[in-house]
Structure 1
Amino acid sequence: MLLRAFLEAMFFAPRWYHYPLILLLFPLSIIYGGIMSLRRMVISPQEFGIPIISVGNLIVGGSGKTPFVIALASGLEGAVIISRGYGRRSKGLVEVSTEGKILVDVTQSGDEPMLMALSLPHASVIVSEDRALAIKLAKEKGAKCIILDDGFNRVEIKKFEIILEPEQIKNYLPFPSGAFREFWFSKKYADIVAKEGEAFHRKVAFENLTPQMVLVTAISNPHRLDTYLPEGVVHKVYLEDHAYFEEEKLKMLLSDHEAQSLLVTEKDAVKMQDFKLPISEMKLKLQIQETIFTQVDEYIKGYPE
């Protein structure tokens, strides 16, 4: 727990005491970044004969990809979202939803794919470690376009690249010294670099707020929620990204802190659907520049039949 908090701080907001470790790991970061750059030079992307839009980022952890994918897919006809399904308890290819009809539970899909499936009644969601296999299945089932969730580093797939960039970056180094999956200049390979605060803005709404709440969340870099928290949060509990919750432990948290409800994100809430607990929910929507939707539409319309 303490190690995770230390590393998250080092990745996203390093202080003076992080720099000895950053410097120690720096040679490994250069090697790792070099390998990732080499992949881009030697691997030829495969054409799948269908428009594929990738929504990804260069930095590990949350950057708004899930709400961005939801906003994008909601305006596209015949869209199929393909995700790896981080945190799921299943393996292989799993169809999560077909045009809004939910086919599995959240343990089989993972939290983010389930949130996308519940939010998109006219789209379909597939999870698979093998993205190529999922793309072929989506084509067989009549998909008109594919949205690849977190697909920037899938260099073997030819696609239209959208990268989401945080409003502030304090550590530009690749893993393990920093949070970057590749060298920061790899964003030159993207068709669109959407910077938060310019190309898109977060809008947070709340449901069922109570006077005293315990914040419970299993997201990456949870301190980013602090800016949006309402009054009445009496305690905070941070679990590992994509972790599952135990109902009895959550009940004890409410009792221990004399709280009337749990405050959770939408991503957390999909894993609590069957819990008989009072839930207050943070709902994140993105306000996205219209030019991004226009560029995606132009890519799809200009795609060779």
Structure 2
Amino acid sequence: MSAIIVVDAFWGDSGKGKVAAFLAQKHQAAYSVRAGIGTNAGHSILFAAGSEIRTRQLPCGVLHPETQLRVGSGVARAEFALRKARQARDERSLADYTADVARELNESCLRGETIVVEGSQGTHLSLALSDDYPDCTSDNCTAAAFADDVGLNWRHIEEVCLVVKALPSRVGTGPLPLQLTPAEEDRRAIAEYGVTTGRRRRKASGISWPHLETAVLLNGPTQLALTFCDHLDPDVAGARHRSALTAPVQRLIDELETRFNIPVSLCDCGVHFENLIEIA
């Protein structure tokens, strides 16, 4: 296998880190590499045993012991590390931690190894592609942009996994279709807070199909990962097997596959890594 790119369909906070970690472990990835915007995008993984992984700059694909972690050369770095340097190689304190990541990744793919590229934020926060400017980020957040961030030859891209949050959310300003009130979020016990900022996220009552259609058009996914299904239907919370999926979740899976003719390969049914179910 070659490269798998993990990208968010909406406005971020969809559990991309969990999905990327699962794929890196499943395929025994040679490299897990972070693309996208820098440290303002936090990813986290919580395990049933109580341990947790939280990252801001590094990718989450650390579960397979032989997977090497990389950060693409096109990714914005932390200001405290770079100070006035424009690239990591220009900062002396980082000299021992720099490498030709693009060469490493492309040569790995040529050897038939798998790499997982973990994007940040979400498609509809893309600078040049979002309808919500200036309520967007400083770069594009699509599969093509992430490949460019890490210097990946497009011929090595074998899979694009589009992460679809069952009830999309958004932090800060900018429109959110089908937005719930905070009171309704609290009543349904589905309030969320950002990993990095701690800010409360605004949540929608369902998927905006026009926005998802655009995300599919821009990213060309080969598979979908449906996340936060326990917010769609609390009865599915804690599920670890496909047989435990509830009717509302299965209906959404069926609708996604019917609309886009793309398989839903993963279904996330709870807060723990173990609640990510492989269904295709």
* TM-score normalized by the length of structure 2: 0.40
Rg larger for: 1
* TM-score normalized by the length of structure 1: 0.37
